[in-house]
């Protein structure tokens, strides 16, 4: 404990040098812009900027790249709240209540709570990294293919309880996402599947194209189909002092922030798209523990605070398996692993002893970076909220421009744009039929991972399905899945029973009269 604190203080000394502070600030600003730009996201942003770090020392390079990662989590909430376009994958869930708050003239409180929640959750996650990294790394090491498969199943069940009023429709969209995830090369055997001879489809369906199409272009088309009078309506932006959350907002948000921080920290230690799963899990938990669950989907501030805290916390804790085990549990940390290897640093159990200045300086820089992001985001809340004053006839073409530029900048691929356009038309049709796009997106992300983990598990057990119920962690996850499945059925049963009792009591009272 004391030794870790001493190392952390030495890390602050390294991170606080003018050079490293500059790169931390640069990473935070670039990350925020990357998050705000629809389609780019931390994956594309980090991949594009790795060549710039070649002339830097490893510590400065990783401080800047890490700043881009967690800075994108801050910035990604901005477009989700203001224009219903997720800046990156983990902010998809923020669109549900964040955009509703913006439509109600409460964009400022939504953005401010997102920034405050991200800062608090990031601070908690950094403290957890300092105090619990070695034992938590051992716990993460216990995850094999069976545990991973059970985690993915849990993610699907969580997603089915999050969006939409119809569980059947949510599951149908998740299945569509699973089907789309099978396109490309078989992840185990390497054979082609559903490519129809197209070399473009060998890499599978690009997730960013689907996300921007369904949420970005879909929203543009829905608004464009409205009457001109509706598009010309002026958005009322609150007064400056109304842009910040009230004490009641903070009171309602603080519990969600703390719960989201805990959920995100735990999710960051296991394989998979941790920020994505963490946001969905946090939203589900907040909806279940809330005394006003009917407000979710209509502008509940807990629906913004919890997921935003969860994704930032998961981003920070995802560095534990990367540093301590040398295992990237997500696509962004995989890119960061490549950056470390390029700079001659091999992550793993010996990283802390061989490169203590890098390990502790990066952790210290995360706290500094979170503080910088808080200072940058809160003063600019009025600027972000004033974006709502832009008339829809001007804003909608700008959103389309951002979508096209962001999409093309990922792979410089014209076919990606065609996929985005097709998904935009699909998103418009789904809105008309009351289907949610979020389950489709999560199915597309988790599907290939679930397939690989499931097939690897059966290879290990020689086809014995008992491997999923004979390993403790897997059993716990499957039991949690069963709980999430049974609870909605129990609620329906209790409601039906109450309805019958009420009807019986009314009938008995009528006969008595």
The pLDDT tens digits for 210-251 are 877 887 787 778 777 765 555 554 444 445 566 677 788 888
Angstrom distance (rounded) from CA 72 to CA 421: 25
What is the C-alpha separation between 313 and 278, in angstroms, rounded? 9
Query: In angstroms, rounded to a whole number, what is the distance separating the alpha carbons of residues 253 and 380?
Result: 20
pLDDT of residue 328: 66
48, 78, 410 from 405: Cα distances, Å: 15, 18, 9
CB-CB neighbours of 202 under 10 Å:
12
Specify whether the CB–CB gap between 478 and 466 falls below 8 A. no
The pLDDT of residue 1: 58
Q: Which helix (H) or strand (E) holds 264?
A: helix 247-267
DSSP secondary structure, 37-103, as one string: STTTHHHHHHHHHGGGGGGS-HHHHHHHHHHHHHHHHHHHHHHHHHHS--SSGGGTTHHHHHHHHHH
Tens place of pLDDT per residue across the chain (513 aa)? 566 677 778 888 888 888 888 988 888 888 887 777 655 567 666 766 776 777 788 888 888 888 888 887 777 777 777 767 666 667 778 888 888 887 777 777 888 888 888 888 888 888 887 777 666 655 656 677 888 788 778 767 765 565 555 667 877 888 888 888 888 888 878 888 888 888 888 888 877 788 778 877 877 787 777 655 555 544 444 455 666 777 888 888 888 888 988 888 888 776 556 677 788 888 888 888 888 777 787 878 888 888 888 888 888 888 887 777 666 666 677 677 777 777 777 776 677 777 777 888 888 888 888 888 888 777 766 665 555 566 667 767 877 887 787 677 767 788 888 988 998 888 888 877 878 777 787 778 777 878 888 898 989 988 888 888 888 888 888 888 888 777 767 776 777 777 777 776 666 666 665
Angle, vertex CA 181, rays to CA 430 and CA 212, nearest 5: 45
By CB atoms closer than 10 A (0-12, 13-18, 19+), residue 96 is buried
The CA dihedral of 328, 334, 337, 341, to the nearest 10 degrees, is 130
Calpha distance 307→94 (Å, rounded)? 7
Do residues 70 and 122 touch, judged by C-beta distance below 8 A?
Answer: yes
d(CA 442, CA 158): 11
Residue 280, classed as helix, strand or coil, is: helix
Handedness of CA 127, 129, 132, 136 (dihedral sign): positive
pLDDT at position 203, please?
Answer: 81
User: Helix or strand or coil: residue 118?
Assistant: helix
Q: How many CB atoms lie within 10 A of CB 180?
A: 21
Residue 476 Cα distances to 69, 162, 318, 479, angstroms: 31, 21, 21, 5
Q: How far apart are CA 394 and CA 507, in angstroms?
A: 59
């Amino acid at each position: 404990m004391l030794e870790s604190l001493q190392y952390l203080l030495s890390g602050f000394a390294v991170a606080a040098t003018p050079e490293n502070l500059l790169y931390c600030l640069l990473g935070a600003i670039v990350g925020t812009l990357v998050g705000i730009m629809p389609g780019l996201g931390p994956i594309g942003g980090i991949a594009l900027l790795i060549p710039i770090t070649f002339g830097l020392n490893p510590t400065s390079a990783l401080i800047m790249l890490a700043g881009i990662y967690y800075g994108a989590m801050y910035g990604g909430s901005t477009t989700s709240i203001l224009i219903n376009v997720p800046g990156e994958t983990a902010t998809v869930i923020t669109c549900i209540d964040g955009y509703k708050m913006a439509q109600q003239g409460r964009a400022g409180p939504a953005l401010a709570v997102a920034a405050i929640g991200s800062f608090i959750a990031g601070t908690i996650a950094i403290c957890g990294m300092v105090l619990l990294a070695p034992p938590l790394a051992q716990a993460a090491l216990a995850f094999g293919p069976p545990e991973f498969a059970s985690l993915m199943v849990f993610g699907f069940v969580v997603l089915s309880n999050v969006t939409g009023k119809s569980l059947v429709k949510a599951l149908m969209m998740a299945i569509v996402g699973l089907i789309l995830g099978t396109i490309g090369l078989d992840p185990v055997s390497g054979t082609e599947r559903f490519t129809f001879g197209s070399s473009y489809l060998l890499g599978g369906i690009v997730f960013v194209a689907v996300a921007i199409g369904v949420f970005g272009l879909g929203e543009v088309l829905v608004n464009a189909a409205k009457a001109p009078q509706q598009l010309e309506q002026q958005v009322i932006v609150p007064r400056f002092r109304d842009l910040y959350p009230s004490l009641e907002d903070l009171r309602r948000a603080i519990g969600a922030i703390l719960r989201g921080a805990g959920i995100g920290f735990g999710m960051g230690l296991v394989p998979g798209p941790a920020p994505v799963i963490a946001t969905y899990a946090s939203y589900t938990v907040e909806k279940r523990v809330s005394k006003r669950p009917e407000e979710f989907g209509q502008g509940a501030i807990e629906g913004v605070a919890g997921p935003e805290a969860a994704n930032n916390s998961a981003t920070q804790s995802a560095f534990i398996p990367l540093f301590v085990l040398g295992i990237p549990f997500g696509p962004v940390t995989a890119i960061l692993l490549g950056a470390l290897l390029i700079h001659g640093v091999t992550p793993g159990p010996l990283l802390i002893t061989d490169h203590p200045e890098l390990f502790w300086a990066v952790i210290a820089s995360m706290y500094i970076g979170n503080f910088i992001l808080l200072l940058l985001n809160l003063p600019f809340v009025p600027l972000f909220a004033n974006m709502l004053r832009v008339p829809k006839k001007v804003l909608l073409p700008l959103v389309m421009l951002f979508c096209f530029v962001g999409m093309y900048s990922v792979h410089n691929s014209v076919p990606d744009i065609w996929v985005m356009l097709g998904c935009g038309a699909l998103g418009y049709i789904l809105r008309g039929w009351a289907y949610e796009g979020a389950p489709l997106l999560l199915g597309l992300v988790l599907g290939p991972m679930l397939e690989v983990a499931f097939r690897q598990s059966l290879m290990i057990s020689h086809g014995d399905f008992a491997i999923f119920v004979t390993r403790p962690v897997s059993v716990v996850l499957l039991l949690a899945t069963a709980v999430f499945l049974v609870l909605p059925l129990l609620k329906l049963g209790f409601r039906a029973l109450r309805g019958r009792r009420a009807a019986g009591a009314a009938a008995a009272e009528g006969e008595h009269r």
